[in-house]
Amino acid sequence: MRAIRIRETGGPEVLRYEDVPTPDPGPGQVRVKVTATGLNYIETYHRTGLYPLSLPFIPGGEFAGTVDALGPGVSGFALGDRVATASGAGGYAEYALAPADKLVAVPEGVDLHLAAAVMLQGMTAHYLAYSTYPLKAGEICLIHAAAGGVGLLLTQIASRLGARVIGTVGSLEKAELARAAGVSDVILYRDEPFAPRVRELTCGRGVDVVYDSVGQDTWEGSLDCLRPRGMMVTFGNSSGPVPTVSPLVLSSKGSLFLTRPTLWHYIATPEELAWRAGDLFGWMIAGALSVRVDHRFPMADAADAHSALQGRATAGKVLLIP
Ligand code: NDP
């Protein structure tokens, strides 16, 4: 089969399209014929070595397609079933493996491209708004990169919960998309410092929670946006990792709570995985959640896809099509 393989860490040029053996499913695994693979920021960290993996490897954990082969001991799936996962392996390929207990059935009303687009970023948005800081109606949240993959989905979910969303974006085009998703106050954070603006917009009070995927560049300002005892949720590094933190900073900024969550701890049980994926698919079928696919790149052009994502040139989801 054809796949993207990384032999050494580095820039997008290390993503090479090659012939590789088709993988055989081991115990508890399912082989999926991939219809679409979701591009996620984490794969840029795997590519550069920020999150090290042993070389060589085929990147990609999020994909949707049809069941092609079952490993020993797998039950509950049949050949040809439409499935999706955020926790597979080797997804930048025509065929990829996933643990059966991390695979979900895709309902008939959901297109496989959209299923691949929503699994990782959608379940992330879901756990952030429902579990990390369970948003209540009338609360105020700040969402950075509100027109990004996670950002557009989190904005819609937060709005559905009745929260007021203040969002930062990098361009006027992204501002329009963020507003359409439910951001009530958009801040162009490349043009003005966002923290004083957030204070102004909240009449000096500050927001209840900051959902920060940008990391290094927004870390300090984000702490200055919170109300006393508010929660700082730093969940990404799009501008680089957050530097080392002294707990005393949290005290001086208002007895703040700080968490650095990751999706894997929020879909660790079959019940949580089914809850989050089920909610997302249900909302999509009901027309209550819009999943924006910004780009579809042929798998062979994965390097261009990585450059677009890291170059802030995307709004919503990027898919790779084998
Ligand atoms: P996005 O679609 O949000 O893309 C990144 C966006 O970040 C850009 O489009 C850009 O938006 C903004 N950005 C700000 N500064 C920079 C910079 N210096 N370089 C590049 N982009 C910048 O990506 P995702 O939604 O896929 O992921 C966002 C982050 O969340 C990633 O760091 C990812 O790893 C993390 N994440 C974490 C998860 C978790 O469970 N912890 C799960 C899923 C994602 P703009 O132009 O508007 O500034």
313 is a domain residue: yes
* Mean pLDDT in residue range 176-184: 98
DSSP string, 176-243: HHHHHHT-SEEEETTTS-HHHHHHHHTTTS-EEEEEE-S-TTTHHHHHTTEEEEEEEEE---TT-PPP
212 is a domain residue: yes
pLDDT confidence of residue 120:
98
Cβ of 236 closer than 6 Å to ligand 1, yes or no, is yes
Cβ of 145 closer than 6 Å to ligand 1, yes or no, is yes
126 is a domain residue: no
Calculate how far, in angstroms, residue 67's C-alpha sits from the geometric centre of ligand 1. Answer: 31
Residues 145 and 33 in one domain: no
- % of the chain at pLDDT higher than 90: 100
Q: Which atom in ligand 1 lies closest to the alpha carbon of residue 214?
A: 14
CA atoms of 279 and 124, how far apart (whole Å):
12
Confidence of residue 61 (pLDDT cuts 50, 70, 90): very high
- % of the chain at pLDDT higher than 70: 100
The whole-chain average pLDDT of the chain stands at 97
Residues 114 and 141 in one domain: no
* Mean pLDDT in residue range 42-55: 95
pLDDT confidence of residue 247:
96
124 is a domain residue: no
Best residue among 131, 213, 218, 295 to mutate for probing ligand 1, ranked by most atoms within 8 Å of CB:
213
- For helices 112-127 and 149-160, angle between their N-to-C axes, nearest 10 degrees: 60
- Within 10 angstroms of residue 53's Cβ, the number of other Cβ atoms is 13
Confidence of residue 84 (pLDDT cuts 50, 70, 90): very high
Best residue among 312, 314, 320 to mutate for probing ligand 1, ranked by most atoms within 8 Å of CB:
312
CB-CB contact of 133 with 231 (8 Å): yes
Residues 159 and 200 in one domain: yes
Residues 293 and 238 in one domain: no
Chain length of the chain: 322
pLDDT confidence of residue 246:
94
pLDDT confidence of residue 171:
97
pLDDT digits (tens, 9 = 90+) for 92-146: 999 999 999 999 999 999 999 999 999 999 999 999 999 999 999 999 999 999 9
Calculate how far, in angstroms, residue 180's C-alpha sits from the geometric centre of ligand 1. Answer: 19
> If you take atom 28 of ligand 1, which residue's CA is the nearest one?
213
Calculate how far, in angstroms, residue 84's C-alpha sits from the geometric centre of ligand 1. Answer: 22
Confidence of residue 209 (pLDDT cuts 50, 70, 90): very high
Confidence of residue 186 (pLDDT cuts 50, 70, 90): very high
pLDDT confidence of residue 160:
96
Residues 93 and 201 in one domain: no
* Mean pLDDT in residue range 187-214: 98
Cβ of 222 closer than 6 Å to ligand 1, yes or no, is no
CA atoms of 64 and 297, how far apart (whole Å):
15
User: Of 127, 71, 117, which Cα lies nearest the Cα of 98?
Assistant: 71
Domain CATH for 50: 3.90.180.10
> If you take atom 36 of ligand 1, which residue's CA is the nearest one?
236
> If you take atom 39 of ligand 1, which residue's CA is the nearest one?
262
* Mean pLDDT in residue range 61-76: 98
Q: Is the pTM of this model over 0.85?
A: yes
29 is a domain residue: yes
In the listed set 240, 260, 280, which residue is the last one of a domain according to the structure?
Answer: 260
Strand partners for 6: 57
pLDDT confidence of residue 129:
98
Cβ of 314 closer than 6 Å to ligand 1, yes or no, is yes
The alpha carbon torsion through 71, 74, 77, 83 (nearest 10 deg) reads -60
Q: Which atom in ligand 1 lies closest to the alpha carbon of residue 146?
A: 47
Residues 25 and 113 in one domain: yes
Confidence of residue 81 (pLDDT cuts 50, 70, 90): very high
291 is a domain residue: yes
How many domains are contained in the chain? 2
Residues 248 and 282 in one domain: no
Domain that holds residue 143: 136-260
DSSP string, 24-40: PP-TTEEEEEEEEEE--
Best residue among 238, 314, 317, 318 to mutate for probing ligand 1, ranked by most atoms within 8 Å of CB:
238
pLDDT confidence of residue 285:
98
Domain CATH for 213: 3.40.50.720
290 is a domain residue: yes
Calculate how far, in angstroms, residue 312's C-alpha sits from the geometric centre of ligand 1. Answer: 8
* Mean pLDDT in residue range 73-82: 97
In order of 8, 29, 254, 301, the CA distances from 23 in angstroms are 21, 11, 52, 22
pLDDT digits (tens, 9 = 90+) for 266-316: 999 999 999 999 999 999 999 999 999 999 999 999 999 999 999 999 999
pLDDT confidence of residue 292:
97
Residues 244 and 141 in one domain: yes
77 is a domain residue: yes
Calculate how far, in angstroms, residue 72's C-alpha sits from the geometric centre of ligand 1. Answer: 38
